[in-house]
Chain A
Amino acid sequence: MSSSVIDPAVIPRMRARPRASLQDWLPRIVLAPSFAVILVFVYGFILWTVWLSFTHSRMMPVYALTGFDSYARLFAQPSWWMALKNIAIFGVLYVVICIALGLTLAILLDQKIRIEGVLRPIYLYPMAVSFIVTGTAWKWFLNPGTGLEKTMHDWGWTSFQFDWLVNADMAIYTIVIAGVWQATGFCMAMFLAGLRGIDGEILKAAQIDGASTYATYRRIVIPALRPVFLSAFIVLTHMAIKSYDLVIALTGGGPGNATELPSTFMYSYTFTRNQMSVGAASAVIMLMTVAAIIVPYLYSELRERRQ
């Protein structure tokens, strides 16, 4: 070919230094500590907890395996059943009401509201503040002796009764109220983002086709929000299962064990009642529930993005 052919036998094999191997490995070296830490602190510790759930550990861990004993003991505990019943009531009401209220607020706010900039942060601030903080006020507000009931009595409505906080049958619903109050604004923000993401031309087309406002929402807007419903459902369910501060701040699990949730059950059995293996077993059940919801969701999200 051309005169510029280089004869490899004549040219020294390499003048430039070889690919700086450190530079080549740096990305992996940088990522490694984080990954190692997560591998140990998350996955390693989960295995550790699973192991403990198959032992007879009480105050201190012991590592002799004893099969499913702890799970048998766990499901023999009335307070665990109470926790399961409560998480079912709380979870369903919390998710449904948050989504319903959040969607309503989002639709109302999406009507070209002049003071939207003021209202939106008001609905959302509970997410920014610890419930240990706002719980102080809620507890006071729900307490028959100091809060709403007393206020109504002061105003002359002496037959008014609102004692849910200290009523074992109703206390779980105060948790629902407080939880809904905390998370509705977040739901609203998700739905509002969804609404704003809908192509305005589709809505105009629907109106030109003669759809009423109601029909537009019913047939076009709400179906278009399907992914937001899914996200909201996943996030809320996950938050419901992890709810802990809410109960501690409001009822401490009481009266009696009327507002026990799996999260409080796990904590008290592990750290105050010295039944570590039962606590570990309850943690494993919680983890499996969360994984059953989150893993398929994450899997589909990651797949979608790959396409």
Chain B
Amino acid sequence: MAEVSIRKVEKAYETYKAVHGIDLEIADKEFVVLVGPSGCGKSTTLRMVAGLEEITGGEIWIGGDLVNDVPPRDRDIAMVFQNYALYPHMTVFDNMAFGLKLRKFPREEIKKRVDDAARILDLTTLLDRRPKALSGGQRQRVAMGRAIVRNPRVFLFDEPLSNLDAKLRVQMRTEIKKVHQTIPTTTVYVTHDQIEAMTLADRVVVMNFGRIEQVGPPQELYHNPATRFVAGFIGSPAMNFFPVKVTNEGGLYVQWPGGVKLAVPPQRANRYAPYAGKEMTLGLRPEHLTETHDIEKPGVVRIEVPVDVVEPMGMETMVHFLVNGEEMTARVDPATHAAPGEMLPLAADMNNMHLIDNESNKVV
């Protein structure tokens, strides 16, 4: 059993606070991803769990032990670093065996564990090589092997894929997921890439300015973001934010600055009614601004926008248009005819709208 429990944990440096008292409970064998922009405190949090960074407030528990004052080597954790951190003068075998040797494991046991890990990670033929003679992906796998052989209570990953090229990153992502399925172990994974977070995590923790914005399974974060920050951070291309005014004229409407009025679907009307008359922000993902062929569905509203830039992506086309000087994006069928400067009719699927309070930045 290796739950990780982070309670009111703070990290204060001489001049500023990097982490402002966060709480997070991670279940045994759970894969949790901390995601956020650089400087949001996610790596600091991970390093505090690892014991590489002193905790200036709060408590961290691993598997029922308070570890605030336990050095990294006694926390029974393993970590994979961004730059792999392979020992350059040791072979792949020795790199993976180092931690076991220091812990005085018997030789046969070391060999067995390294061989097992090498088999899982497809490194068997590379065991005698030095890190210098390996490709980026291979190095990454050795770094994971070094963590696996230890059979620790917790795996920690610190942006392990950000030094790989795009294609390899996708491959290694799958690899990491496979390893977690083969050897289920509590995992804390830090990344700034929301796609990585979405694809890997059982639960995603979105952090910003040293605070947790929201915790939840990927789909929940995507469909029900709690704050404007999460709404904008999760999903690519990012959610569009329209400044609107909520009006009640028989039915509930949101009104763009230009005067365009969009009807709020009846099932949401009760939820949004209290905000009538207020300036709010409407959040709508690009995939909910599409070509007009399912305009007949309930809750879908037709609008017309001036096309600014058209980006064909192959299986879909991104259309950028300006509302009040802000650039918005719609995701349309490649067959749709759109040309810069022309007006394009779009279907806005208001069933998936988000309404954000401009003062609290919370999604209501």
Contact = CB atoms under 8 A, between A and B. Distances in A.
- Does A associate with B in a complex? yes
A25 to B, nearest CB: 12
Contacts of A33: none
B187 interface: no
A19 B3 contact: no
A272 interface: no
Contact of B71 (A2, A3, A11, A24): A24
Contacts of A5: 5, 25
B220 interface: no
A14 interface: yes
Interface in B9-54: 25-28
Contacts of B81: none
Contacts of B69: 18-19
B296 interface: no
Interface in A9-24: 11, 13-20, 23-24
Contact of A20 (B25, B61, B71): B71
Contacts of B70: 16-19
B65 A16 contact: yes
A6 interface: yes
B125 to A, nearest CB: 38
A17 B28 CA distance: 22
A17 B68 CA distance: 11
A8 B74 CA distance: 20
A147 B253 CA distance: 106
Contact of B3 (A4, A8, A13, A20): A4
Contacts of A11: 61, 64-65
B75 interface: yes
Contacts, number: 43
Nearest to B26: A4
A18 B66 CA distance: 9
A1 interface: yes
A77 to B, nearest CB: 51
A17 B66 CA distance: 10
A20 B74 CA distance: 9
B67 interface: yes
A5 B3 CA distance: 8
Interface string A153-175: 00000000000000000000000
A13 B28 contact: no
B75 A6 contact: no
Nearest to A23: B71
Contacts of A6: 3, 5, 61, 64
A5 B27 CA distance: 8
Contacts of A24: 71
A16 B68 CA distance: 10
Nearest to A16: B70
Nearest to B1: A4
A4 B186 CA distance: 12
A16 B59 CA distance: 15
A2 B27 contact: yes
B75 A1 contact: no
A2 B3 CA distance: 10
A244 B61 CA distance: 64
A304 to B, nearest CB: 20
A24 B27 CA distance: 30
B27 to A, nearest CB: 4
A214 B66 CA distance: 70
Given A16-B65, A20-B74, 12 more contacts: A1-B25, A4-B3, A5-B5, A6-B3, A8-B66, A11-B61, A11-B64, A11-B65, A14-B65, A15-B65, A19-B70, A20-B71
Q: Which 9 A-B pairs have the closest CB atoms?
A: A4-B3, A4-B27, A19-B69, A16-B70, A15-B65, A11-B64, A18-B69, A2-B27, A1-B25
